[in-house]
């Protein structure tokens, strides 16, 4: 399942904050110290934890096949900084930038 989801599941002692990410196939509870699920006393606190966790994931570093996307982009800029090879040609064209776009 390629989707993100967050919901609250009631238990006998409180509420569990459940989160599913695109790379996982199933929702898992938020875990505390020792790998034990965090049981929230109120449903509101559980929903707040779900929202914070999903927002922090979405606003964090993008990860692609185990590497951070920004670092691989910077490595590619270092390798292909000064030239471009045109399609179908073995000739290299020197590229100069008038200003940096980032």
pTM of the model: 0.58
* Fold adopted by 5-63: ATP12-like (3.30.2180)
| Better-scored residue on pLDDT, 76 or 41 | 41
Q: Give, in order, the Cα–Cα distances in Å from 60 to each of 31, 52, 56, 83.
A: 19, 12, 6, 32
50-65: burial string, b at 16+ Cβ within 10 Å, e else: beeebeeeeeeeeeee
Domain residue ranges in the chain: 5-63
Could you read off the pLDDT of 31-74 as tens digits, one per residue? 999 999 999 999 999 999 999 998 888 887 666 665 555 555 56
Helices (H), ranges, the chain: 43-58, 69-79
- Nearest alpha carbon to residue 19 among 7, 2, 10, 36: 7
């Amino acid at each position: 399942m390629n989707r993100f989801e967050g919901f609250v599941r009631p238990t006998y002692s409180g509420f569990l904050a459940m989160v599913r990410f695109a790379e996982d196939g199933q929702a898992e509870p938020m875990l505390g110290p020792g790998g034990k699920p965090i049981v929230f006393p109120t449903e509101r606190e559980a929903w707040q934890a779900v929202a914070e966790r999903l927002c922090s994931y979405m606003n964090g570093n993008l990860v692609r096949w185990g590497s951070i996307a920004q670092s691989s982009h910077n490595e590619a800029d270092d390798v292909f900084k000064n030239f471009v090879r045109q399609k179908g040609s073995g000739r290299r064209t020197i590229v100069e930038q008038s200003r940096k776009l980032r």
